[in-house]
Amino acid sequence: MAARQALEARYGLLHNAGMAIVALVMIGSAIVHFASGASANAPTLSLNDPRFVLFSVLAMAMAYYVYAGISRYLERTPQIVIDHDGITLGFGRNVRFTWNDIQWVRLRRLSLRPQLQIGIEPHAFLAANLHLSFLNLDDSLRPIRGMPTAILVRDNGLDTRASAMLDAVKAFRPDLVQS
């Protein structure tokens, strides 16, 4: 029998560099468009102009994605590790769940892509204090409605797909996988 190898999922370089570059291009093109004076609808530099306020808020949102893209591009530590001891979740939380803490693992679709769902024992879930929120749209760990001790692991921006993560779980603990 071949030795089972740990799976490590990191932030994807191409995805996150691309996110930062696209956000920078969007900010730059808006600045060039309005600074050139070619647009009669250019906002005035006043907080009384709702267009200026709107473009300022949108520029701040794009600046956040520049920051997120660059910081994730530079972050090379694994965000998910699946090995013989259990599952480690990074994403600023750095929590390890042993196989005894995990009740089940499965794939479910969120929009078009399958996402990994992990059911966790209540005591381990509470002890982990994951700070999950339905409102944070950019977080890779999300709560699952109606399942108070389960989490959804989004693979957006990672270099490993959720299906490969499920295959790694199957290699170590096939009894935990649900269909």
For 118-175, the pLDDT digits (tens) are: 999 999 999 999 998 887 777 889 999 999 999 999 998 999 999 999 999 999 999 9
Q: Are 105 and 178 in contact (CB under 8 A)?
A: yes
Q: Is the same domain home to 50 and 117?
A: no
Q: Which letter does DSSP use for residue 4 in this model?
A: P
Q: Is the same domain home to 94 and 169?
A: yes
Q: Which domain holds residue 119?
A: 82-176
Residue 176, Cβ neighbours under 10 Å: how many? 17
Q: Is the same domain home to 155 and 124?
A: yes
- Torsion angle, CA of 54/57/62/65, rounded to 10 degrees? -150
Bigger pLDDT: 137 vs 82: 82
For 2-20, the pLDDT digits (tens) are: 558 999 999 999 999 999 9
Average pLDDT of the residues in 79-105: 96
Residue 148, Cβ neighbours under 10 Å: how many? 11
Residue 97 to residue 82: CA distance in whole angstroms: 10
Q: Is the same domain home to 123 and 64?
A: no
Q: Is the same domain home to 90 and 32?
A: no
